[in-house]
Amino acid sequence: MKTRELQRVWWDWLSTAERLNRSLAEQQAALTVRDTNRIEAIQPEIESMMALLNEIDQNAVAMTRQLAEKLETQPTLRSIVAALPEAEARQFDALANRLRVVGNNLQERIERNRLLIENELTYVGGSLFLIAKAAQEQEGDFATSTPGPVLVNQVA
């Protein structure tokens, strides 16, 4: 089997992506309920898995180029699949399609979480603006006191 090593790398990518997807789901739940402690606890795990996925991606790209050279074809999925025996080509193509689906799901989850974070930051920024505006008013519950003339006791 000519694609065994590349498929092994892809399976590593899929397992890491599944763990990342679970962590992103946990992050999404924490963002929804505004649990900052959970969000802060999850973030290093998410960042390390994203770095690992990038490393696996780079390794897979290099292996794909090597495989294409061995098969004397272009380093594209279609070219490689066309150069493989039929049974191996079907297996390789199915795994590649699974990678695409999982990758798209991860991108969607990351985008949803990014939007949740942006919305939360907008909410916090708006709240701080309203608090600052209320604090600058001359009258009202949050008014700042202005210093007035102080009467001094003449005896003192």
Question: Domain for residue 143, yes or no?
Answer: no
Question: Domain for residue 91, yes or no?
Answer: yes
Q: Is 50 left (phi over 0), alpha (psi -120 to 50) or beta?
A: alpha
86-97 pLDDT, tens digit each: 999 999 999 999
38-51 pLDDT, tens digit each: 999 999 999 999 99
Q: Domain of 11: which CATH number?
A: 1.20.58
Question: Domain for residue 156, yes or no?
Answer: no
Q: Which residue range(s) make up the domain with 27?
A: 4-136
Question: Domain for residue 145, yes or no?
Answer: no
CA distance 66 to 83: 14
Question: Domain for residue 132, yes or no?
Answer: yes
- Predicted pLDDT at 80: 92
The answer to whether residues 49 and 20 touch, using CB atoms and an 8 Å cutoff, is yes
15 has pLDDT over 70: yes
The tally of domains found in the chain comes to: 1
| HSE-CB for 31 with a 13 A CA cutoff | 21
Question: Domain for residue 55, yes or no?
Answer: yes
- Predicted pLDDT at 134: 76
98-146 pLDDT, tens digit each: 999 999 999 999 999 999 999 988 988 888 888 887 777 766 665 555 5
